[in-house]
Structure 1
Amino acid sequence: MFLSYLVVVISANMMLIQSHDCNDYDRLASDQSLIDMMTHCLHTCIKPAASASGVTYVRWGKKACPKGVELVYTGQVGGNQYTYKGGGVTNLSLPNDPENGEPLSGTNDQIVGGQYELTSPNRPSGMKSTLTDNEVPCAVCYQRKRSTVLMIPGRKTCYKGWTFEYTGYIMSDHKDHSSKEYVCVDKDAEPVDDKNKNENGALFYGVKTNCGSLRCPPYKNAVTVHCVVCTK
């Protein structure tokens, strides 16, 4: 209410000043002080509305976001069939409520579901063996008041000054298949549902290090690769 009054008073004063020729109007010191005070208050008391800010990231292997982080949508992983040599190499987080397109007569059927391939030789020790041949879920998360999101391979914790979102393991398709991106799959990964069927698709294997061009130390040979997602 007070600020609205100030705006009216200042507007009235400015209109009064502008209605007189400068040579005919002689402002008193008290008039100028009042105007200066009101102008200062308008610049310091009225705070502009904060603009929406934040970052989004995909939490691979989970249906929900970490506590306190807004869920944009939940879905399942989609990608290119592991035997295909062309097409996309990135994984997609496909929402569970799609707005489906129209029929397409071509043969370029690239988008299939993602499945865990976590039999004993390919499973990080911290993950469930029951995930094998289950589809991979995902959650798109919105972290407010952040400007940057960073996935750090090879670590379980964030560096100083960064906020922890989740930790997991680096996964990708098998090296003998078509190339796929590396993603950070949550250490507590879960399936899309309880339907366990070996339908293949875009496959998720645990990966391990190979020393040589990769310097060991600091790395170790033939071990799983941790990862952590951090925001700032």
Structure 2
Amino acid sequence: MNIVVTAIVIVLIGATEIKGDDQTTELVYSLLTKVRDIESKLRDDERIRIRRKTSTVPPEMSTKTPKTATYIRWGNSTCGYGAITLYSGYAAGGYFSHKGSPANLLCMPPNPQYYSPSSSGGSYIYGAEYQIGGVNNHADERNIPCASCQAVGRNAMIMIPSHYECPSGWHMEYNGYIMTKPHSTEGSSMYHCVDRGLEQIPGSAGNEEGHRLYTTLAVCGYYFPCSSTELTCVVCTM
């Protein structure tokens, strides 16, 4: 530290000889601020060094865990800017008309791992497909891709229905449509935010039924404001 202070003093003496009073004052203030920053950083480093030297906790466990948030991006096989794609897969769930179908949708990896062979299962899982018309009918009856995403540096995630923009200070991962099973079928289902691009799995043009996702309308008289167009959604992280 003495070497740093000596160097600063030498610079200040030289500056005083070649600059006016106002310029010298600004330079002194700037350099002294930098000196204080350096001193503070060195003190912090010394405290950390002493803490690690005297602590019984291994150094690798004392490192602060980086912030991270995870989410599933439905309707797209890759994650957005700033997020890591942990794996790309296929949306899958219970058959649309089965009474005992689970409510949730799963993002299945393309290379499943199995234990010893068995055929005694009492529940079944099916690929999910879009059931959609209008301007998005290009995706109708096509199977749905998905991606498991990790947003590094962010530790909170929220899905906002009926909005396609994030609140101030939040980062938008993707936006799209609220989709779920049709109201006329058996079994329950969760609402999912499906990417606006409605990406499809190549070669899945056939109507195979399975788990079906429809866009969602808000019914007038039960929700205000109601809608005559598909409800939007957005996934945000912070």
Q: 2:133, 2:140 within 8 Å by CA — same for their partners in 1?
A: yes
Q: Does the C-alpha gap of structure 1 residues 40 and 162 become closer, same or farther in structure 2, counting only changes over 3 Å? A: closer
Match of 2:226 in 1: 220
Question: Aligned match of 2:212 in 198, 203, 206?
Answer: 203
Alignment of 1:52 onto 2:58: no
Q: Which amino acid aligns with 1:205?
A: Y
* 40-49 or 97-106, which deviates more: 40-49
**Residue pairs, 1:80-159, within 5 angstroms:** 80-106=94-120, 108-120=122-134, 125=135, 128-159=136-167
Q: Which amino acid aligns with 1:212?
A: G
* 154-163 or 43-52, which deviates more: 43-52
How far off its partner does 1:49 sit? 3.7
How far off its partner does 1:161 sit? 1.7
* 181-190 or 96-105, which deviates more: 96-105
Gaps of 5+ in 2: 1-41, 53-61
| TM-score (structure 2 length as normaliser) | 0.72
How far off its partner does 1:107 sit? 5.8
Match of 1:190 in 2: 199
Alpha-carbon separation, structure 1, partners of 2:120 and 2:152 = 42
Q: Does the C-alpha gap of structure 1 residues 49 and 210 become closer, same or farther in structure 2, counting only changes over 3 Å? A: same
RMSD (Å), alpha carbons: 2.2
| Structure with greater helix percent | 2
Q: 2:172, 2:234 within 8 Å by CA — same for their partners in 1?
A: yes
Q: Does the C-alpha gap of structure 1 residues 49 and 153 become closer, same or farther in structure 2, counting only changes over 3 Å? A: same
Question: Aligned match of 1:72 in 69, 86, 89?
Answer: 86
* 160-169 or 93-102, which deviates more: 93-102
Q: Does the C-alpha gap of structure 1 residues 101 and 193 become closer, same or farther in structure 2, counting only changes over 3 Å? A: farther
Question: Aligned match of 1:43 in 44, 47, 54?
Answer: 47
Match of 1:11 in 2: none
Q: Which amino acid aligns with 2:113?
A: E
Alpha-carbon separation, structure 1, partners of 2:179 and 2:228 = 14
Match of 2:34 in 1: none
Alignment of 1:175 onto 2:179: no
2:223 match: secondary structure: coil
Alpha-carbon separation, structure 1, partners of 2:154 and 2:175 = 18
Q: Which amino acid aligns with 2:170?
A: W
Alpha-carbon separation, structure 1, partners of 2:45 and 2:115 = 55
Gaps of 5+ in 1: 1-37
| TM-score (structure 1 length as normaliser) | 0.73
Alignment identity in percent? 30
Q: How many positions carry a matched residue from both structures?
A: 186
How far off its partner does 1:111 sit? 0.8
How far off its partner does 1:51 sit? 1.8
How far off its partner does 1:221 sit? 3.2
Q: Does the C-alpha gap of structure 1 residues 90 and 44 become closer, same or farther in structure 2, counting only changes over 3 Å? A: same
Per-residue CA deviations over 1:26-51 (Å, capped at 9, x if unaligned) read xxxxxxxxxxxx98752167896442
Per-residue CA deviations over 1:153-210 (Å, capped at 9, x if unaligned) read 0101001121111100000111001321110000012111123111111101111110
Q: Does the C-alpha gap of structure 1 residues 212 and 40 become closer, same or farther in structure 2, counting only changes over 3 Å? A: closer
Alpha-carbon separation, structure 2, partners of 1:198 and 1:40 = 63
Question: Aligned match of 1:165 in 158, 162, 173?
Answer: 173
